Structures are given as C-alpha cells and as structure tokens.
Amino acid sequence: MPAPAGRSIVPKAIRFELRLALRHLRVGGRQTLLTVSVVAAGVIIVIFMSALVFGLRQKLTADLTEAIPHITVQVEEVKPLPLAHIPGAATGASSSRIEQQASQQKYLDNWSQAADIVRRLPSVRTVAPAVREQGFASKGRHTVGVSVVGIEPALQDEVAPVSKYLFTGHYLGLSSEEIVIEGQLADELQVGLGERIRLTAKTDAHATFTIIGIYNTNQGRSEAYVTRRMAQSLFGLGTSVTVIFVKVRDLFEADHVAQHLTALLPYEARSWSREFPGFRASLRGRSAIVYLISAFSLISSSFAIASVLVVSVLQKSPQIGILKSMGARRRQILWVFIFEGLGVAIVGSVLGAVLGTALVYFLTFIRQPVTQMGQVSEQLFPVAVLPGYIALAMLAAITSTVIAAVLPARRAARLNPVEVMR
Amino acid sequence: MRDEMHSANGHVATEALDASVSLPPIVVETQGLKKTYGGKIAVPVLRGIDLQIRAGTFVAIVGQSGSGKSTLLHMLGALDMPTAGRVLINGVDLATLEEDELALLRSEEIGFIFQFHHLLDELTCLENALMPITIRHGTETEEQRARVIRLLQRVGLEPHLHKRPDEMSGGQSQRCALVRALANAPKIVLADEPTGNLDSRSGQEVFALMREVNRASGVAFVMITHDDRLAQAADRIFLVENGVLQEVEKK
C-alpha cells in the first residue's frame, strides 16, 4: 500500500481489497505464475484451434470459390419416371419394355438472352457461356474419352481457372487450331507440347489441334479446352452453347441464386453444393469441434484455477481470520479473492492472446514442400487470426476464472475467524 | 424563589459532583455469559460470567489452559457468539447487531492482539499497522498515517517501517501488532497472551508499552496471560476456573 491517501482511479470502497489481492498475487510468486499459465494455456488452445480450423475453412472455401463454377445453367435432363410415380397410371401396371429415350434438345439456343438475365442479378460475379460435350481424343493408336470444353479463355479463367494450373505452355490467347489439355490426358495419349491430337465427336466429326498448354489441377478431371467457336462447329451446335457457368459473390448464397435462376430461366440451374453435398456439413462439423474443444479447455482451466484458489483460501485462512478481527466485512473478503482471480484471469488471458497469436503467426511461415514441378508452395497450415474470436476467448477465460474464484471466495468470506486462527 | 433556585442549583451541583466522583464509564460488560460447545455431548466451557470493565482499566485474565479464557476474550470481541447471556460493548448488546454492524464495531471500538503477531506477510510494518484504517476507509488520511507513524516511533519501530514481518524479530512484530490494535483509536484492546510467544525481555517490553498506552490514552485492556508478574502489574486480575470468573486480590 504505497500511496497514502493519494488520488487513485480505484474507488475508495474497494481500494484495500484490490491492493491486498494484488499483493497476494505478487507475493504468491510461483503459484501465481502457475495459475496465470493455466489460464494462458486455455486461451492459447482456443486461439490455436480456432485459427487452424477456421483457417482451413477459409482456405477450402477460397479454393472452392476459385476452382469451380458456383452454378451451372443447362437444359434439364429428362429422366424416365417409374410407373408408380405417374399420377393416373393404373395401379399394379408394370412395364417390361424400356422405351427408347426421346431425343432431347441438349443445347441452349437463346443463350445470350439467358446470359443477360443471369448477369443482371446483383449477386452474380461472372457469367461464362461454354460448350461442354463428350468426345474422344486420339494420337496414333491411343484413344481416350475426354470432356471437351469450348470457351473464351479469359472469361473462363474467372469461373474455373486453368492459367493458374498450367505447368507448361499457355492458355490465354488460345486460337482455333489450338488445344490445352489436362496432364493426365497428356500422359495417357503420350503427347507433349507442340504435338497434334485429334478430337472426334459422337457424330464422327473430327478436327486436329496443336497442344499449346498442359495444366494440372490435381482434381483428375480429364478436360480439354478449345475455343468456343471450334467446339460449336465440331459438335454441330451452330451458334448455341450447352452450358452457362456462373460465379456468384458469396459461395454460400449459390443455392439461393440457383433456385432463383431456375425460376427465371427455362433451364435448370444447379448449385455447386449439389455436386459436393458433404462440403458444407464437414465445415459445420469442424466448427462444432472448435467450439467443443474451446469449451472443454476453458472448463478445465477454470477447474484448475478453482483448485488453486481453494488451496490459496486454505493457506490464507488465518489471514482471513485476522482481517475479520480487524473489522473486515464478508463482502470485503469476498472481493479480495475475486480480485485475485480477476488478476490471474486478465494477465493470463492477455498473455494467452499474445502467445497464441504469435504461435499462429509463426505457423504461417511453415510452407508445404513442393512435390511437383510448377506447384506454388502453399502454407502447410492455413490459419485465420480472428480478432473477434480472440476477444471472445479472452472474455470467456476471464468469466470462467472469476466464476471459479467466487466459490472458494465465498467459503473464505464465511470462515469463522476464531476457528481459523487457532 | 431564591430557595428554589438554590435547590435547583444544588441539585445540578450534586449531579455534577456525582459524575466526577463516580467511576469512568463501563466499556465492556457481560451478563450471565455462557458458552457450551456442541456436538453429541455438550461441553460447557463458561457457566455464567458477569463482568464489568471500565474505560482505562487494565485487566489481566489468568487461568489454566483450556479454562475458557480465550473463548471469553473472543466473545468480548464479537468473534464468537455466546450460548446464553449478553455482551455489551459501550452499552450496545452484540446480539442485536448484524454481521456487518459487528464488523464495524470491531473496527471502531475494539483492537486485537494475539499470541502470534498475525501480521500479514504481504504487507510492510507500516501497512500492517494501518490495516484497520484501510479496511474501514479504503485508504488512510495524512493525519491517520502521521498518527500511526508516531505510534510506531513510540514503540521503537521507526527503523523498520518498511520492513516485512519476516524481516522483523518477534518482539518487533508484536509491537507492530500493538500499534495495529490501536490504529483506529479503539475503546478497548483485547490481548490473548500477547507475550506468550516472546522471550521474557521482549515480553516485558511489549507489556510495558501496553501499560504505557493504557495510562496515556485511557484505552481499556483485557489481557490473557500465564505470567504472574505481568498479571500483578495489571489494575485488576480475574481467574477463570471451572467455567466461572472470580476476581483475585493483587499481592
């Protein structure tokens, strides 16, 4: 208690309690240090876990946002219905014949109008009309089934990037006689840059292309990119396309936008989530794990604090008796121990926040080893430092510590001074 | 009329004379004080104690270990509650006070000295001595601080104001505890074997200081002691035996 009657921001009513609590902590030395570390460890765990999981979530989201079209607009596939699902069909009726599927129009003939409608939606970022058809790629004796995509390279790069994954050659500036193929396809055909391959459509129409680029997304989709004009003529589509790729601003809004588009257009709009149904659930599951781990680490650290404070109260029992005999009220004793807990909590959580953030920061320097030519080295641990979450972790640590302090403090305040001074 | 005046004056004069002649006010009083420790078998410790202590009196309480001396002292200081009977401090019945009011009473009217100095290790000598004031008011005024420092000087602790109890001798610590008991200028100091844990020279010193403060400021002292020489130096001596209190003639 150094300053006598000095001005202080601490209200007079609690000044003695606060001073004594701080003095306890200072004199407590190793024990105080231990308690502070327990709180700090809890906060570090929470920050660390959340940084990892939310970082992974952000990265997955970003990757997905970038790598795939969010919505594909195409002609709705007509699928045969089981008889039982057809209203009015005689009950018990059965069919043993599989009818030849009626020929369907597979292309969007008024696509530029449709693209305009899509483009006008505020949540839509990019619209890329394209031709996507199945065909065969052949070189010499090798023939491989391939998905041929006819695009405008610059526009398509915004929807499903290829340039980024090129490991040789180029993609932008693709001309009509040129083709960019996936690495695995190149392996199967045993071709390299500059060689020529032939694409054949189901109609037997064919054309030859020079390979000007090979890319590798590690996603195993065997695609070959040619110009949209070339694809239209190869597959006999005239000026039509078969699909409109759409990129929206918010990945998680895609379902909503797709529904809206299906209503607006005479075509079917499919959201990415129909292709990756587990993705959203797994993100949600990971977040739940973080909340669980956070809660448990906070609970266990508050148990640790409570036990340390219980011991501290036992040790200080004689002192509590003395304070009472000197006229200290119950509430004053209570406050001494609550302040003690609060001091531990504040120092511990600030320390934990600083160390946890530093740890997460250092993690960002660890890079993935480069295993493939042309691969850009990425962070081994994608992390997210979320100030809001850190603040929340600190607040939770402080709250749980104070709650853990209150119970022993109440016991301390109730002690009978005569009992404890014997 | 003149007679009436005279008689009235005379009456007033008599009253004034009575007051000046009569003894100082009673600061501590017990009426039929009983204490029984519970459990399956009730153990009566004090069986009905009537005691009156006037301001400025130095009382020594003697008796065998376990005779209930400390229990009596704790009840006088509102640290322990009687099973039956009443304790009045300055005429206030302790049984009528709430817990916080008792705390206030302990802080303002009573000072405690224990066998072990019971200073707080976390605080310096000066801070310990100021503690009753800081507990009560949050912080001390310059005046209160100066007063406590003067008291510490008087008991010879000036060189040790900023030392911790573990850096001080037993006698020094007990003198600091004495100043602490006096910090709030109480009416009565309750001392439970204050010299019991000291060598005889330090014990003598502490006792002499207590007596000196008692004479100078008129604070009543109730001191439990096993030391007959110290008891003989008190104003009154009481013996607690078989749960009853009886005054012992000084030799």
- Cα B201 from chain centre: 22
Mean pLDDT of chain B: 85
Is 80 exceeded by the pLDDT of residue B140? Answer: yes
Say yes or no for a CB contact (<8 Å) between A1 and B123: yes
- What HEC string does chain B produce? CHHHHHHHHHHHHHHHHHHHHCCCCEEEEEEEEEEEECCCCCEEEEEEEEEEEECCCEEEEEECCCCCHHHHHHHHCCCCCCCEEEEEECCEEHHHCCHHHHHHHHHHHEEEECCCCCCCCCCCHHHHHHHHHHHHHCCCCHHHHHHHHHHHHHCCCHHHCCCCHHHCCHHHHHHHHHHHHHCCCCCEEEEECCCCCCCHHHHHHHHHHHHHHHHHHCCEEEEECCCHHHHHCCCEEEEEECCEEEEECCC
Grouping H, G, I as helix, E, B as strand and the rest as coil, residue B113 is strand
* Band (B8; pLDDT cuts 50, 70, 90): very low
Say yes or no for a CB contact (<8 Å) between B107 and A326: yes
Among A125-139, A351-365, A395-409, B63-77, name the one with the lowest average pLDDT.
Answer: A395-409
Judging by DSSP bridges, how do beta strands A206-215 and A178-182 pair with one another? parallel
Say yes or no for a CB contact (<8 Å) between A418 and B180: no
Chain A residues within an 8 Å CB radius of B101: none
At position A21, the amino acid (one-letter code) is A
Residue of A12, A321, A322 lying closest to B138 (CB–CB): A12
Say yes or no for a CB contact (<8 Å) between A418 and B74: yes
Residue of A8, A13, A421 lying closest to B118 (CB–CB): A421
Chain B CB within 8 Å of residue A420 CB: no
Say yes or no for a CB contact (<8 Å) between A325 and B130: no
- Residues 16-35 in A contacting B (C-alpha not used; CB under 8 Å): 16, 19-20, 23-24, 26-27
Question: Averaged over A352-368, what is the pLDDT?
Answer: 84
Chain B CB within 8 Å of residue A279 CB: no
Say yes or no for a CB contact (<8 Å) between B99 and A330: yes
**pLDDT tens digits for range A179-215:** 999 888 888 888 988 999 999 998 888 899 999 999 9
Chain A residues within an 8 Å CB radius of B173: none
Residue A396: both structure tokens together: 């939770």
Chain B CB within 8 Å of residue A418 CB: yes
Chain B CB within 8 Å of residue A332 CB: yes
* CB A333, CB A412: distance < 8 Å: yes
**pLDDT tens digits for range A281-333:** 777 777 788 778 777 877 777 777 677 777 777 788 888 888 888 888 888 88
The Cα B3–Cα B28 span in angstroms is 42
- In total, the C-beta contacts within 8 angstroms joining chain A to chain B are 89
Question: Averaged over A338-360, what is the pLDDT?
Answer: 89
pTM attached to this predicted model: 0.68
Say yes or no for a CB contact (<8 Å) between B138 and A5: no
Interface test with A, best of B99, B134, B190 (most A CBs within 10 A): B134
Residue of B107, B137, B145 lying closest to A12 (CB–CB): B137
Grouping H, G, I as helix, E, B as strand and the rest as coil, residue B139 is coil
Residue of B80, B107, B138 lying closest to A15 (CB–CB): B138
**How far does the CA of residue B11 sit from the closest CA of chain A (Å)?**
43
Say yes or no for a CB contact (<8 Å) between B138 and A330: no
* Share above pLDDT 70 across residues of chain A, in percent, rounded to a whole number: 86
The Cα B35–Cα B80 span in angstroms is 10
* Share above pLDDT 90 across residues of chain A, in percent, rounded to a whole number: 13
* Band (B20; pLDDT cuts 50, 70, 90): low
Residue of A nearest to B75 (CA): A418
Residue of B105, B123, B139 lying closest to A5 (CB–CB): B139
**Model pLDDT, residue A410:** 83
Helix (H) or strand (E) holding A71: strand A71-74
Say yes or no for a CB contact (<8 Å) between A326 and B180: yes
Residue of A nearest to B108 (CA): A327
Residue of A nearest to B161 (CA): A2
Number of helices and strands (H, E) in chain A? 13, 10
Cα separations in angstroms, A247 against A70, A152, A236, A243, B237: 5, 15, 27, 13, 99
Residue of B nearest to A21 (CA): B122
Say yes or no for a CB contact (<8 Å) between B100 and A318: no
Is 80 exceeded by the pLDDT of residue A144? Answer: yes
Interface test with A, best of B69, B104, B112 (most A CBs within 10 A): B112
**pLDDT tens digits for range B79-133:** 888 889 999 998 889 889 888 898 888 888 899 998 888 888 888 999 999 999 9
Q: Which residue is associated with the tokens 């149904």? A: A277
The Cα A28–Cα A315 span in angstroms is 11
**Model pLDDT, residue B57:** 92
Q: Which residue has the higher pLDDT, A307 or A170?
A: A170
